[in-house]
Chain A
Amino acid sequence: MRPLTPVTPRARAVLGVSFFVLFVAVWAAVTFGGLVPKIFLADPVQMLRSGWVLMTEMDFAHDIGMTMWRVIGGFLIAAALALPLGVMMGAYKPVEAFFEPFVSFARYLPASAFIPLLILWAGIGEAQKLALIFIGSFFQLVLMIAVTVGNTRRDLVEAAYTLGSSDSSLVRRVLIPGAAPEIAETLRMVLGWAWTYVIVAELIGASSGIGHMITDSQALLATDQIIFGIIVIGLIGLASDLLFKWANRRLFPWAQLGR
């Protein structure tokens, strides 16, 4: 194979799907073939069957809805605060010098380690879940947005100044629009991480949500339900990722050119 030679879209799709097929095939082989006891790993058919029961009889849709709103809620709060701060840090070096060391430190604080504290402060209600997602995504977002804005091409900045831009219009008309596509990509990536945090929060203290269902199933050794829950998370993650990518392409057509 020649390195970096592109494949046709058709071949790409076929290859992408075939790994899923292979994955399920191996899973079916080890479970149906009796290589792994059912108590450790349910087979695919059993998984689908109990998924159906979860959806039709146990109102799992409600759990999915709860989890989704927690992710979206926590993520939106984090993004709403991270965007202005990140842009300010990227644009104004004293602001960056003030916040950057702390934010760099804070982003290495493991979000899940805050759960005991958050339960103490906010109970096991929705505020605790939102707070965990916020801690997990806010600092990452701030840093990545700041770096993106700070990396604006200097020659574009100079061109804007020679066209009469003031400092504030430089931020509005050059730094922000130039960084926008990459910021959108950052949001897409961090949203993926937010999904991890919400499940962790729900595993530890929740009365609803996908993570809560998974903990309940653990007590019953219902590996079929656990796997179904995990796959649902994966599918929603994939869907939101595709949606984000599609939206970014629509919003920033210029960023797709010449790639």
Chain B
Amino acid sequence: MNKSILQVRGVERRFDTTLALQATDIDIAENDFVTILGPSGCGKSTLLRIVAGLDVQTAGEVLLDGQRISGPGADRGMVFQSYTLFPWLTVLDNVCFGLRERGLPSEQQLDIAHGFLAKVGLKGFANHYPKQLSGGMQQRTALARALANKPRMLLMDEPFGALDHQTRELMQELLLGIWEAERKTVLFVTHDIDEAVFMGTRVVVMSARPGRIKLDHTVPLAHPRHYSVKTTAPFSELKAELTEAVREEVLAAQAASAALA
């Protein structure tokens, strides 16, 4: 295992009286692709947002390269579930956004942006506005925009959650291909078990609210992975175990909300 670049130490998040996230510890190793799996409302997005600096923990701390995180920054690129391209900028200018923020000369910005647009297969769409693109293409642009910034790690909050099934599978392969080439450290939140296993080098399952880490598995599948890996025995075994684990939590969450009602 590589050295850890991100350390989550006793991070807890309380909203008024409800505890959304129990004191949580997790280490993310360099070049790892960690998927966080859990039922909706389990606090997995909250954890990711705390790492991004967009939410503030009520206890504990998050260290990136040993430095305490105190707010959002370009070192942690993020792709959101909602479409967050700036609608007034073209695809190209969206990808340049962070580069311009860093004050890079515009020639260099365009070079980098065109490179990443090619990587996500949007070469011919540089001058389109986001609203002229399909959801999948918008998320590919968002991925290019986050990667162009050369972040230390990439945070992804159910980035393919709003896409249809077929598009989502293609996006998974695209992201996996890019990850296999670049080995960027990724923290990826999802509620899709197939996605979590297919993409991750490591899968973390969170419990129902209040969220805590319930399971932490290394995915025993070699890279590069082809989509056909989804039908192999090791994939199915891990999937079956995770399905059981998540199902328990979904049932627990339902029981908890029924008790409240």
Bound: A160/B97 CA distance, A: 8
Bound: A164/B145 CA distance, A: 12
Closest A residue to B155 by CB, please name it: A162
Question: Contacting chain B: which of A14-22, A78-86, A185-193, A251-259?
Answer: A251-259
Closest A residue to B83 by CB, please name it: A155
- List A residues 67-107 near B (Cβ within 8 Å): none
Whether a CB of chain B sits under 8 angstroms from the CB of A111 is no
Bound: A253/B97 CA distance, A: 19
Bound: A123/B129 CA distance, A: 52
Interface 0/1 of B63-81, CB less than 8 Å to A: 0000000011110111010
Q: Is the pair A163, B131 in contact by a Cβ cutoff of 8 Å?
A: no
Distance from B198 Cβ to chain A, minimum over Cβ atoms (Å): 25
Whether a CB of chain A sits under 8 angstroms from the CB of B215 is no
Q: Is the pair B131, A164 in contact by a Cβ cutoff of 8 Å?
A: no
Whether a CB of chain A sits under 8 angstroms from the CB of B229 is no
Known: A156-B84, A174-B86, A180-B88. A162 touches B78 (CB 8 A): yes
Bound: A257/B54 CA distance, A: 30
Whether a CB of chain A sits under 8 angstroms from the CB of B82 is yes
Distance from A225 Cβ to chain B, minimum over Cβ atoms (Å): 47
Q: Is the pair A162, B88 in contact by a Cβ cutoff of 8 Å?
A: no
Q: Is the pair A164, B74 in contact by a Cβ cutoff of 8 Å?
A: yes
Interface 0/1 of B127-160, CB less than 8 Å to A: 0010110000000001001100100000100000
Q: Is the pair B82, A155 in contact by a Cβ cutoff of 8 Å?
A: yes
Interface centre among A156, A159, A173, A254 (most CB of B within 10 A): A159
Bound: A163/B144 CA distance, A: 12
Whether a CB of chain A sits under 8 angstroms from the CB of B52 is yes
Whether a CB of chain A sits under 8 angstroms from the CB of B87 is yes
Closest B residue to A165 by CB, please name it: B101
Q: Is the pair A254, B129 in contact by a Cβ cutoff of 8 Å?
A: yes
Interface size of B in residues (CB-CB distance below 8 Å): 29
Q: Please tell me the size bucket of the interface on A.
A: 20 to 34
Bound: A257/B132 CA distance, A: 7
| The one of B88, B98, B129, B155 that contacts A163, using a Cβ cutoff of 8 Å | B98
Q: Is the pair B101, A164 in contact by a Cβ cutoff of 8 Å?
A: yes
Closest A residue to B80 by CB, please name it: A155
Interface 0/1 of A173-209, CB less than 8 Å to B: 1100110100000000000000000000000000000
Q: Is the pair A163, B132 in contact by a Cβ cutoff of 8 Å?
A: no
Distance from B31 Cβ to chain A, minimum over Cβ atoms (Å): 21
| The one of B97, B131, B145 that contacts A258, using a Cβ cutoff of 8 Å | B131
Residues of B contacting A161 in the complex (Cβ-Cβ under 8 angstroms): 53-54, 71-73
Residues of A contacting B74 in the complex (Cβ-Cβ under 8 angstroms): 162-164
Whether a CB of chain B sits under 8 angstroms from the CB of A46 is no
Closest B residue to A258 by CB, please name it: B131
Distance from B152 Cβ to chain A, minimum over Cβ atoms (Å): 12
Whether a CB of chain A sits under 8 angstroms from the CB of B102 is yes
Known: A155-B84, A177-B88, A257-B131. A163 touches B77 (CB 8 A): yes
Residues of A contacting B131 in the complex (Cβ-Cβ under 8 angstroms): 254, 257-258
- List A residues 33-73 near B (Cβ within 8 Å): none
| The one of A155, A163, A178, A257 that contacts B101, using a Cβ cutoff of 8 Å | A163
Distance from A249 Cβ to chain B, minimum over Cβ atoms (Å): 14
Residues of A contacting B155 in the complex (Cβ-Cβ under 8 angstroms): 162
Residues of A contacting B54 in the complex (Cβ-Cβ under 8 angstroms): 158, 161-162
- List B residues 85-106 near A (Cβ within 8 Å): 86-89, 97-98, 101-102
Bound: A159/B87 CA distance, A: 12
Residues of A contacting B129 in the complex (Cβ-Cβ under 8 angstroms): 253-254, 257
Q: Is the pair B102, A164 in contact by a Cβ cutoff of 8 Å?
A: yes
Q: Is the pair B88, A254 in contact by a Cβ cutoff of 8 Å?
A: yes
Whether a CB of chain B sits under 8 angstroms from the CB of A218 is no
Closest A residue to B81 by CB, please name it: A155
Bound: A158/B76 CA distance, A: 12
Bound: A254/B127 CA distance, A: 12
Residues of B contacting A255 in the complex (Cβ-Cβ under 8 angstroms): 87-88
Q: Is the pair B86, A158 in contact by a Cβ cutoff of 8 Å?
A: no
Residues of B contacting A180 in the complex (Cβ-Cβ under 8 angstroms): 88
Residues of B contacting A240 in the complex (Cβ-Cβ under 8 angstroms): none
Closest A residue to B87 by CB, please name it: A254
| The one of A155, A162, A257 that contacts B77, using a Cβ cutoff of 8 Å | A162
Bound: A123/B98 CA distance, A: 54
Interchain residue pairs with CB less than 8 A apart (25): A155-B80, A155-B84, A158-B78, A159-B84, A159-B142, A161-B53, A162-B72, A162-B73, A162-B74, A162-B76, A162-B77, A162-B78, A162-B146, A162-B155, A163-B97, A163-B145, A163-B149, A169-B101, A173-B97, A174-B86, A178-B86, A178-B88, A253-B129, A254-B87, A257-B129
Q: Which residues of A contact B (CB under 8 A)?
A: 153, 155-156, 158-166, 169, 173-174, 177-178, 180, 252-255, 257-258
